[in-house]
Structure 1
Amino acid sequence: MADDVRDRLAGLDFAGITPAEFAGIVKGLSARQITEFATGELRSRVLGEIFGRMGEQFRPEAAGELRALIRWRITGESEVVYETVIADGRCTVTEGRSAADARLTLVMGDAAFLKLVSGNGNPVTMFLTRKIVAGGDLTLAAGLHRYFDIPAA
């Protein structure tokens, strides 16, 4: 079964999938299935597409005057780090860790990350059950979902 899921996902053109379609795909997967397919080139493609779209999903009107560097540490077969900078009504994303101090650092596994960004996971529950570990500005963490168009799963 894991090979079927992996083969089906590997054949997808993630650039052509809408956030709502992606949310539907993730909704149909268990955390175990996500962990099994989130390896190698497929994992890189999925994470790259998600972070590549964050700027498009950003809601500047909701962010107002917010200025923050958010560091995302996605654990799994290896740790991948992305940073989002929200400032001046824009959201920019870079891969890798900068020397700057993050206002908020979020650490989570692949399954928790995909559930979170696809609207399939409750961020408060995920934080309380330690599926997401947050360091820094917890008020920012609590309101982070307001700054992005996250599909309803």
Structure 2
Amino acid sequence: MAEPTPDLAGLDFGSVTPEEFAALVRKLSAKELAGLMRGELRTRVLAEVFGRMERQFRPESAGSLNAVIRWEITGEPVVVYETEIADGTCAVRAGRSDAAPRATLTMGDVEFLKLVSGNGSPVTMFMTRKLKVAGDVGLASGLTRLFDIPKG
């Protein structure tokens, strides 16, 4: 598998806007994205993406929704984050809690990056089994409207 290119490895993902991130994901091949998601760089990218979810949350779209969504990103190692939406707020935590998720989304690194950057269709990913959903499929299918995601 390709190693991350030096410019990606040195990139300060905290200073990259969602639009710039979407453009970066769009121009990289699946092999290059997989290379990016290795080791410490993978940890930084996932932490930054999940760290932004609270800021990208659109409470007006959530209405009275109260739900825990568990994200399982397969790879080495499997990484779990949870998004709790309640009373018009969104809280993100790393790891698996004791809360019962209303939906669990399981996908690989490349699919996750494409999904959160607006470069992949969640419906297509689901239909091709690149995105697996356990629990409330209806909730999972509407998640993208709850966040400001760049249009891929």
Q: How does 1:1-153 map to 2 (within 5 A)?
A: 2-3=2-3, 5-153=4-152
TM-score by length of 1: 0.96
Hey, which bits of structure 1, 4+ residues long, moved more than 4 A?
none
- Cα distance, 1:31 vs. partner? 1.4
Identity %: 62
Q: Gaps (5+ residues) in structure 2?
A: none
Q: Gaps (5+ residues) in structure 1?
A: none
CA distance in 2, matches of 1:103, 1:35: 29
CA distance in 1, matches of 2:111, 2:85: 22
One-letter amino acid matched to 2:2: A
Q: Give the total of aligned pairs.
A: 152
- Cα distance, 1:33 vs. partner? 1.4
CA distance in 2, matches of 1:37, 1:14: 12
CA distance in 2, matches of 1:129, 1:8: 32
CA distance in 1, matches of 2:96, 2:120: 26
TM-score by length of 2: 0.97
SS at the partner of 2:142?
Answer: helix
- Cα distance, 1:37 vs. partner? 2.0
SS at the partner of 1:84?
Answer: strand
